[in-house]
Structure 1
Amino acid sequence: MENKIHNLKLVGEKVNNLIIKPNEVFSFWKLIGKPNDKNGFKKGRNLIDGKVSDDFGGGICQFSSILYHLALQTGFKIIERHAHSLDIYEEHERFTPLGAYATVVFGYKDLQFQNIYDFPIQFKSEISEDEIKLSAFSEDKIHINEVKFDYHIVENGVEVQTLVDDELLFKNYYKRL
């Protein structure tokens, strides 16, 4: 857990005060860089090919997922996002709703979105031992979308539909252990 918090704080520092200009595309990996010991990351829990393992940068999917959820709420255009293939959490353990997960794997899976507004938007990030706060700010009004995740139990898993202002945006399947 200590390594995960360390990794989350590294990511949070890079995102804090970040400004995304009009039409600019944000790339998680372009900003964060390779999660290795040289870049200050520690080993933590990762999900790779449906299996739990330890690797550098473990736990940072928690941040990318919260960032993705904020991007949905603020109306950014989602360019690239990957869902986890496995749901390892019980409902009371979730850090974002199932369906808001955005897994990132360096060189393979990125989180990218574009600022569709004609004004810049700035992110603010605070990481503590038990909380991640992520906010978007602008001098102009940002429309906040209503984001819903509809769950449907299917064989060996859960299908989740992501609805933004009642429009179907994504459909994902999560295998249950």
Structure 2
Amino acid sequence: MQYQYNKITNLRLAADRLDGTVLRPGETFSYWRLLGRPTRRKGYLDGIILYCGTFRPGVGGGLCQMSNLIFWMTLHTPLTVTERYRHSYDVFPDSNRTQPFGSGATCVYPYRDLMIRNDTQTTFRLHIRVGDKELQGEWKADQRPEYTYRIVEKEHCMKSEFWGGYSRHNKLYREVYDSEGRCVDVQYITRNDALMMYSPFLPENTQTCEK
């Protein structure tokens, strides 16, 4: 649990750096350019990081939760994601999952960044905070948005691999709605392919009941 508490510290440090970031027309947001390298000198602590299908402690562990949130929020705006990396492993089962599989964005300094370009004529401001129980954020615009968005999952499947494990796959699309609630476009976002770190099937119950 100490690594979980450390993650809260790491997220608060990152939120302090990112909160209030302004993205004007033509500008590009870079997650790592704004945060820089997470180091102990900056106050970052050891948290859990995912590495080659296993867990291990690392300085700044847990910052992917921040990039996950920013990517998910951005999909609900007209901003353009120009660089995003999917998670190579599906870590947790779907119990209490509220978003489609593969809707996050992993980050590894400095190689895997999350970059977002403002191709609109509207200025956006990012707000991020660590709440009592949740990481919270929003993009605010200086003009009322013309469209709203809904993220949907298609072609989802789980496969049994020859080496004994399982993999998971899907495609994400974005439905675009006008001010009257009509779907005016469906946009392809990405394809996700990940190795599963858990069995997708419950073990068979071999016990019998005697009358």
Cα distance in 2 between the residues matched to 1:54 and 1:94: 25
Cα distance in 1 between the residues matched to 2:191 and 2:64: 19
Cα distance in 2 between the residues matched to 1:130 and 1:95: 16
Which of 144, 147, 150 is the aligned partner of 2:151?
Answer: 147
CA deviations 1:89-143 (Å, max 9, x no partner) are 1223657532111110001100001112112101111212420111111120233
Higher relative contact order (CA 8 A, sep 6+): 1
Long gaps (5+) in structure 2: 161-165, 176-185, 198-211
Q: Share of identical aligned residues, percent?
A: 24
Cα distance in 1 between the residues matched to 2:142 and 2:83: 27
8 Å contact kept, 1:42–1:57: yes
Alignment length, in residue pairs?
177
Larger radius of gyration: 2
Q: Which has the higher helix share?
A: 1
The runs of at least 4 aligned residues of structure 1 exceeding 3 Å deviation read 93-97
Cα distance in 1 between the residues matched to 2:62 and 2:98: 12
Long gaps (5+) in structure 1: none
* Residues 118-157 of structure 1 aligned to structure 2 (within 5 Å): 118-142=121-145, 143-150=147-154, 151-155=156-160, 156-157=166-167
Instruction: Provide the residue aligned with 1:73 in structure 2.
Output: 76
AA matched with 2:152: K
Which of 18, 32, 46 is the aligned partner of 1:15?
Answer: 18
- SS where residue 107 of structure 2 aligns? coil
- SS where residue 20 of structure 2 aligns? coil
- SS where residue 74 of structure 1 aligns? coil
- The 1:33–1:99 alpha-carbon spacing in structure 2 relative to 1, beyond 3 Å, is same
8 Å contact kept, 1:84–1:174: yes
| Pairwise CA RMSD | 1.6
CA deviations 1:58-111 (Å, max 9, x no partner) are 011011011001111112211110111111112236575321111100011000
2:170 aligned with 1:160? yes
TM-score by length of 1: 0.93
Cα distance in 2 between the residues matched to 1:164 and 1:4: 31
Q: CA deviation at 1:8?
A: 0.9
TM-score by length of 2: 0.79
